[in-house]
Chain A
Amino acid sequence: MTNRRDFLKTSVLASSLLFVPKFLHALDRQGVARLGNSNGRRLVVIQLGGGNDGLNTIVPYRNDLYYKARPTLALREQSGLLTLNDDLALNPAMTKLKALYDEGRMGVLNSVGYPNPDRSHFRSMDIWQSGSAADQVVTTGWLGRYLDSNCAECQVPYTGVEVDDTLSLAMKGGQRKGLALKNPEKFHQITQNHFIAQVSGEQAPSNASSELDYLYKTLAETSSSAEYLYQTSKVYKSSVTYPNTEFGRNLKTTAELINSGIETRVFYVSLSGFDTHVRQHEQQGKLLGDLAEGLGAFTEDLQKSGQFDSTLVMTFSEFGRRVQQNASNGTDHGTANNMMLLGGALRKPGILNAAPDLANLDQGDLRYQLDFRSVYATVLRDWLGANDTAILGSEFERLSGIV
């Protein structure tokens, strides 16, 4: 028996042909063939739900204004802050990310937001997921529209995978939608349910002119994808230790899918619970630890298989918190926030723009310096090779030379 790495190399391409029932081959090949020109690159989006406090994540540890605004909540150097440069340091819980930063695998974008920020969780998340302006309602997601634009003819929904039970708006396009699954085995099991398997095994219509055809077509694609994902994901079983959290398990699933050679361009994973109105230290510290440990293991996993160079990880949250701490040792809903980028092939790692300006606030909130859609545009065009303007609906200035 060859070792796992060799097996992986030879079987990744063959796997779908080996295991997938014959009638599904046409679907799969078509789907893979029509993927956009992303050069084998993939994007992993990490959603930090609840509004992560950016100021206590990437800490302005030399700024008096920060300590004035947060007498008990501010993080001090002696608490173990992980220094990034003369202005900024990482939360002490994020040692794994500090290591990646030092290796030049991490970039930090400060003060990312949008005009007229909305402080409600659901609306602001809607804005970030759809990629819309604050006064605009868009019913498709920005990654879904990427699938539309780069994979219009794809016959398989697994070009975009959300590791979760239900699919987020971000992954829903007008024509194409991603696929949500907690793990390939469980998802496959459902499609193997006697009745569903019988029905999905029936002749699928070639187009979806009627609503009934659309349902049967979706079912056939789902079934085909479940089979492909399940069989392919068996190729690689991770030997890396992930934190024993839901988020950790979801990242492990993501890594196993990537390392098994799945042709997915976009992955989406969420970590929630950042709504820290009360006793933030404890709660946020734990979550940032989960985040860093999880991403540390994920990175190690991808590095082992040589997939980290073709992977870009991007984190975001629907808003940051107020600069001033509140009376319950927590923070309330704010505006602009930081985003983190991770990847083996980042062209420009490090702190990528100015630290948040705490001297120039808008009624106690950070002013945004960078529109989040500029970040999306950069990732879409420069990383995935997609038409950012078409996907985002208008042109946003891209950040040159970053990814």
Chain B
Amino acid sequence: MTTQKRIQHLYWRAGFGPRPEDVDADMSPRKALRKLLRESEKFEPLDSPLMRYTEIKPPFVAGSAPAPVMDSRVTGMTTTPDQMATSANTSATVAGLAPRALLAGSTPGRPMLLRRSQLTPQQRKMENEGIRDAFYQMNLGWMERMANSLAQLREKMTFFWHGHFACRVRQPVTALQLNNTIRQLALGNFGDLLLAVSKEPAMLQFLNNQQNRKQHPNENFAREVMELFTIGRGNYTEHDVKEAARAFTGWSSDEQHQFIFREKQHDTGSKTFIGRTGNFSGEDILTILLEQPKTAEFITTKLYRFFVNDTPSPAHIQPLAQAFYKSHYDISALLEQMFSADWFYEAANVGNRIKSPIELLAGIKRTLGVQMEDPKPLIGYEKALGQTLFEPPNVAGWPGGRNWIDSSSLLLRLQLPQVLFKNAQFNVALKEDENDILPSVAKADRTFRQQVKTHLELKPIAAFLAKIPEDQQAAKLSEFLLQAPIRPENLVLVQQTAAKAPVEARLKTMITSLLALPEYQLM
């Protein structure tokens, strides 16, 4: 393994891919790792006014019929936008945020979602669009960060926890708040992160803890905390779930999306949880879960599968998990240990992970300095390839690995470079199902037909290849762009394709061809 490959490996796994200057800097992998850690120390929240949607409050009309009261289970239901309008008027909708805030009766800065049945159809439509636009802004803002933030490791870990603490809610404000809580604690102490996430209104709502009351416990939150967030299946009983649910009664949020403990709804009785008995609070349950070495093992295994290899190696994981437990769950220390291990750079662990759609897209953006005149089509690609930020399929997050690839998604991936750089059409109609935001959108509005205008930053690549003789440039470029070894016949194919292109388009053609190879799907 060359030093360049090792550096690239580190940048692909601990970040969203290397830029030409990253591998040209003559650094050792150890030094690059220290740089990544240092540059990720600072936390900057993801935020912008466009991400903060202010909901509509219908004007009160005296004498109007009382609005029907919906079942609380229905209002507690959560759905995020699943629709991607692509017609030319989409940007007009984004710009339309300001007039909406001027609507009679709307109170900017006071986030409160109304029961949808209280809205007029027109208000409902505007609210849906406002919510959708806010999620688009959050999505694209985060993609931009993945591509350009110095804090690569922090963003990568935020992305990891985004799948681990998978959550899908209707209110953009709570989704953004959870995302920033995760970002802030992503590299800190896992116990702090777990507690903070468990108290996030988005999560409490998503996992129905609003309905978890002394008289009628709802076990959903307690179950997922154990099954998915901490110790994993097989390490607790159904009785533990019931008792933990009692401990989490009263955990709720207020209208300002702040955590609130509703004492009257809390069950103060004695509980027996994983062999211990006491008047446990929700915090106690989380503490007891952290005291189980199985939790350290579960989290370490998941991190290993994300960062190293989909097939866990107990020989690698055991020492990491033990150190993680001993360090009282210091996430940075665990990552540093993982990225410094010799086995991390072994051939078996390099170029063997199928990039998730987000990693694929952010990686192209980052490694090639891609700028898009209008980035919205990125959301369409995310959806078509099966991974949209803020929209995990369910509480277990994205399954990943070979799951990303089926016949149609693979073909879409291989066409993507042509779409991005050669003005080819991306002629895919997204599914309309799962849509609670903009019902009945016409097919035209679900189809991404418009050609994207991208700017590919070729200067750094050209500089990277400057001293390489022309007949070796394709090989050199493939070493930079591909983590899996290129098939010899593919190298010939790339060279032939480039040779046919006019001189000034050769570099771009080479890049487009290399990105269209199955090898590029791996990192």
Known: A49-B434, A198-B493. A218 touches B440 (CB 8 A): no
A50 contacts across to B, CB distance below 8 A: 432-433, 435, 439
The residue from B74, B410, B493 contacting A333, defined by CB atoms under 8 A apart: B74
Known: A50-B439, A172-B403, A215-B405. A122 touches B168 (CB 8 A): yes
B509-523 toward A: CB 8 Å interface, digit per residue (1/0)? Answer: 000010011110110
Q: Which residue of B lies closest to A177 (CB)?
A: B406
The residue from B67, B432, B484 contacting A272, defined by CB atoms under 8 A apart: B432
A387 interfacial by beta-carbon distance below 8 Å: no
Interface centre among B403, B406, B407, B490 (most CB of A within 10 A): B407
B454 interfacial by beta-carbon distance below 8 Å: no
B408 contacts across to A, CB distance below 8 A: 165-167, 179-181
Known: A196-B415, A363-B71. A218 touches B407 (CB 8 A): yes
Known: A120-B78, A166-B431, A178-B406. A211 touches B353 (CB 8 A): yes
The residue from A137, A272, A273 contacting B394, defined by CB atoms under 8 A apart: A137
A270 contacts across to B, CB distance below 8 A: 431-433
State in angstroms the CA–CA spacing of A180 and B386 once bound together.
13
* Pairwise interchain contact B393-A122, C-beta atoms closer than 8 A: yes
The residue from A177, A193, A210 contacting B407, defined by CB atoms under 8 A apart: A177
State in angstroms the CA–CA spacing of A219 and B168 once bound together.
33
B96-124 toward A: CB 8 Å interface, digit per residue (1/0)? Answer: 00000000000000000000110001001
B82 interfacial by beta-carbon distance below 8 Å: yes
Separation in Å of the B495 CB from the closest CB of chain A? 12
Q: Interface size for chain B: under 10, 10 to 19, 20 to 34, or 35 or more residues?
A: 35 or more
A325-337 toward B: CB 8 Å interface, digit per residue (1/0)? Answer: 0111000110000
State in angstroms the CA–CA spacing of A222 and B436 once bound together.
33
Question: Which of the candidate stretches A68-76, A254-262, A274-282 sits at the interface with the other chain?
Answer: A274-282
Q: Which residue of B lies closest to A126 (CB)?
A: B394
* Pairwise interchain contact B411-A123, C-beta atoms closer than 8 A: no
Interface centre among A169, A179, A196, A211 (most CB of B within 10 A): A211
A44-81 toward B: CB 8 Å interface, digit per residue (1/0)? Answer: 00010110000000000000000000000000000000
Separation in Å of the A84 CB from the closest CB of chain B? 28
State in angstroms the CA–CA spacing of A177 and B402 once bound together.
11
A299 interfacial by beta-carbon distance below 8 Å: no
B474 interfacial by beta-carbon distance below 8 Å: no
Q: Interface size for chain A: under 10, 10 to 19, 20 to 34, or 35 or more residues?
A: 35 or more
Separation in Å of the B357 CB from the closest CB of chain A? 12
A398 interfacial by beta-carbon distance below 8 Å: no
A97-126 toward B: CB 8 Å interface, digit per residue (1/0)? Answer: 000000000000000000000111111011
* Pairwise interchain contact B71-A212, C-beta atoms closer than 8 A: no
State in angstroms the CA–CA spacing of A272 and B402 once bound together.
28
* Pairwise interchain contact B410-A215, C-beta atoms closer than 8 A: yes
Separation in Å of the A122 CB from the closest CB of chain B? 4
B409 interfacial by beta-carbon distance below 8 Å: yes
State in angstroms the CA–CA spacing of A191 and B415 once bound together.
10
Query: For chain A residues 159-217, which have a beta carbon within 8 Å of chain B?
Result: 164-169, 172, 177-182, 186, 190-191, 193, 195-196, 198-199, 202, 210-212, 214-216
B337 interfacial by beta-carbon distance below 8 Å: no
State in angstroms the CA–CA spacing of A278 and B418 once bound together.
42
Query: For chain B residues 386-411, which have a beta carbon within 8 Å of chain A?
Result: 386, 393-396, 399, 402-403, 405-411
Q: Which residue of A lies closest to B395 (CB)?
A: A137
A179 contacts across to B, CB distance below 8 A: 406-408
Q: Which residue of B lies closest to A161 (CB)?
A: B407
* Pairwise interchain contact A119-B77, C-beta atoms closer than 8 A: yes
Separation in Å of the B507 CB from the closest CB of chain A? 17
B189 interfacial by beta-carbon distance below 8 Å: no
Known: A166-B386, A167-B409. A121 touches B396 (CB 8 A): no
* Pairwise interchain contact A119-B67, C-beta atoms closer than 8 A: no
A364 interfacial by beta-carbon distance below 8 Å: yes
B184 interfacial by beta-carbon distance below 8 Å: no
B352 interfacial by beta-carbon distance below 8 Å: yes
State in angstroms the CA–CA spacing of A215 and B432 once bound together.
28
State in angstroms the CA–CA spacing of A121 and B78 once bound together.
9
B234 interfacial by beta-carbon distance below 8 Å: no
* Pairwise interchain contact A121-B394, C-beta atoms closer than 8 A: no
Separation in Å of the A53 CB from the closest CB of chain B? 13
B447-458 toward A: CB 8 Å interface, digit per residue (1/0)? Answer: 000000000000
Known: A126-B394, A135-B223. A327 touches B67 (CB 8 A): yes
B409 contacts across to A, CB distance below 8 A: 166-167
State in angstroms the CA–CA spacing of A96 and B493 once bound together.
54
Known: A273-B432, A332-B74. A195 touches B116 (CB 8 A): no
Q: Which residue of A lies closest to B443 (CB)?
A: A246
Separation in Å of the B322 CB from the closest CB of chain A? 29
The residue from A137, A172, A191 contacting B411, defined by CB atoms under 8 A apart: A191
B415 contacts across to A, CB distance below 8 A: 190, 193, 196
B61 interfacial by beta-carbon distance below 8 Å: no
A364 contacts across to B, CB distance below 8 A: 71
Known: A121-B435, A210-B352. A215 touches B522 (CB 8 A): yes
Query: For chain A residues 247-275, which have a beta carbon within 8 Å of chain B?
Result: 270, 272-273, 275
State in angstroms the CA–CA spacing of A192 and B78 once bound together.
42
A15 interfacial by beta-carbon distance below 8 Å: no
State in angstroms the CA–CA spacing of A328 and B65 once bound together.
12
* Pairwise interchain contact B121-A328, C-beta atoms closer than 8 A: yes
State in angstroms the CA–CA spacing of A222 and B513 once bound together.
20
Separation in Å of the A123 CB from the closest CB of chain B? 6
A283 interfacial by beta-carbon distance below 8 Å: yes
A119 contacts across to B, CB distance below 8 A: 73-74, 77
Q: Which residue of B lies closest to A157 (CB)?
A: B407
Query: For chain B residues 157-209, which have a beta carbon within 8 Å of chain A?
Result: 168
State in angstroms the CA–CA spacing of A182 and B489 once bound together.
32
A221 interfacial by beta-carbon distance below 8 Å: yes
* Pairwise interchain contact B407-A221, C-beta atoms closer than 8 A: yes
Known: A49-B431, A165-B384. A202 touches B399 (CB 8 A): no
B68 interfacial by beta-carbon distance below 8 Å: yes
B220 interfacial by beta-carbon distance below 8 Å: yes
Separation in Å of the A240 CB from the closest CB of chain B? 22
Q: List 23 A-B contacts (CB under 8 A).
A: A120-B77, A122-B436, A125-B433, A126-B394, A166-B428, A167-B406, A180-B407, A191-B411, A195-B414, A195-B493, A195-B497, A196-B411, A196-B414, A196-B415, A196-B516, A215-B354, A218-B406, A222-B407, A222-B411, A272-B435, A273-B440, A279-B121, A332-B117
A166-B430, A167-B406 given; name 15 further pairs at CB < 8 Å.
A50-B433, A121-B433, A135-B223, A179-B406, A179-B408, A199-B490, A202-B487, A211-B402, A218-B406, A218-B407, A219-B410, A270-B432, A275-B435, A277-B117, A277-B124
A contact set with B: CB distance below 8 Å:
47, 49-50, 118-123, 125-126, 135, 137, 139, 157, 164-169, 172, 177-182, 186, 190-191, 193, 195-196, 198-199, 202, 210-212, 214-216, 218-219, 221-222, 225, 246, 270, 272-273, 275-279, 283, 318, 326-328, 332-333, 363-364
Q: Ordered nearest first, which 4 A-B pairs have the shortest CB separation?
A: A49-B433, A272-B432, A215-B518, A222-B407
